[in-house]
Amino acid sequence: MRKNYFMLFANCVAVKGASRGAIYDLQNEVIKLIPNILVDVLELAKTNTIDEVKAHFGHDMDEGIDRYISLLENEGYGFRTAEPHRFPPLSLEWDHPAAITNAIIDVGRRSNHNYEQIALALDGVGCVAVQFRFFDFIGPATLESVLKVYNGTRVISLELIVKYDPALVSQLPTLIYEYRRVRSVTIHGSPDEQRIKDERTGVELIYITAEIDSSAHCGQVSSDHFVSNIGFFTESQRFNTCLNRKISLDVAGNIKNCPSMTTTFGKLTDTDLKDVVRQADFKKVWTVTKEMIDVCKVCEFRHACTDCRAFVGDNPLGKPVKCGYDPHTMKWETTENKTVAWPVRDA
């Protein structure tokens, strides 16, 4: 049987942008940049043979189509088949069996959080990932008391952002070994920038020189934060990639969608999180997708980028102000030109 169709593997999805496209490899977690015309070719190829696709373009692009197909085949993005109907597309439905998936807890010098109460409340709404952002010094003993209360909860991932302190840094390997829910640690205000992988746990310790002293530092959009996996890609189809199923406590203990936002939904001391997550006002930002946002809706990275609705300027549906990427020019507004020319593989 002649294999006269070409298909992308179901877990490799082509996305068209303003000036170029991308193939999201949701299994190998890679984004491959491609010309937009190739996105059109791949779309047509879903229901047409390669010869029919070539004819559609008047046979002007025969050589290019052959070259692209061979390249995608060799790099493991697609395959030739005689039976395309045997390979239905991946379902892009996303759901999660809990009201909340992730949480941010901000801690400042004057914070008076009850960490046990926080852990119980987050467990009650099904949260699986919590990030603590300590803007000021925290001692090893206090940090241990924060981590300890997650034993026995359904939380599987704890991320820590802590202020550089030699006494704490020396104890971190012991703490992350003892409390295995800790998946990453960022140490701000460090003397040097470095990344060290803890040998026993595999947890990455990220040392940065910048001081993270408030929630105003959040919302940075960078290719370093891009994600290509099935959870993120499917969630991004109908939900906001940052705020969906997120709950936050700011330094004063106010319940918010995001610590950088102004709207509050009470304090944890007198409010049940289960009641908060039922409120339509609390959930309204969950469904702001990239397809609704100016500029972002034509960006080839719109299903890889974590959105930000806290820092958006005057237009609530505007592009995040901390994003320097222009999908029309394909350039980043930084001193470093991050444009990647096709077919370089961009992770």
Chain contacts with other proteins (rule: CB under 8 A) = 9-11, 27-29, 73, 76, 78-81, 83, 85-88, 101-104, 128-131, 133, 156-157, 159, 161, 183-184, 186, 188, 208, 210, 212, 217-222, 224-225, 227, 229, 231-232, 235, 241-242, 246, 306, 308
Nearer to other proteins, 81 or 264 (CB): 81
Please give the C-alpha separations between residue 99 and each of 108, 121, 143, 245, 255, in angstroms, as whole numbers: 27, 12, 27, 6, 15
Sort 89 into a burial class: Cβ within 10 Å, 0-12 / 13-18 / 19+.
exposed
**Two tokens, residue 202:** 């595999």
The amino acid occupying position 176 is: I
Given a contact cutoff of 8 angstroms between Cβ atoms, the answer to whether 208 and 188 are in contact is yes
**Two tokens, residue 343:** 């077919």
Question: CB 102 → other proteins: shortest distance, Å?
Answer: 5
Question: CB 28 → other proteins: shortest distance, Å?
Answer: 6
DSSP 88-146: PPPP-----SSS-SEEEEEE-TT----HHHHHHHHHHTT--EEEEEE-S---HHHHHHH
Nearer to other proteins, 48 or 186 (CB): 186
Nearer to other proteins, 219 or 327 (CB): 219
Question: CB 216 → other proteins: shortest distance, Å?
Answer: 9
What are the φ/ψ torsions at residue 126 (nearest 5 degrees)?
A: 85, 15
Sign of CA dihedral 318, 299, 223, 131: positive
Nearer to other proteins, 19 or 157 (CB): 157
Radius of gyration of the chain (CA): 23
Nearer to other proteins, 120 or 156 (CB): 156
Question: CB 131 → other proteins: shortest distance, Å?
Answer: 4
What are the φ/ψ torsions at residue 171 (nearest 5 degrees)?
A: -95, -10
Nearer to other proteins, 48 or 131 (CB): 131
Neighbours of 274 (CB within 10 A): 13
Nearer to other proteins, 33 or 129 (CB): 129
Please give the C-alpha separations between residue 152 and each of 79, 179, 342, in angstroms, as whole numbers: 46, 11, 48
Question: CB 17 → other proteins: shortest distance, Å?
Answer: 20
Question: CB 325 → other proteins: shortest distance, Å?
Answer: 12
Question: CB 60 → other proteins: shortest distance, Å?
Answer: 27
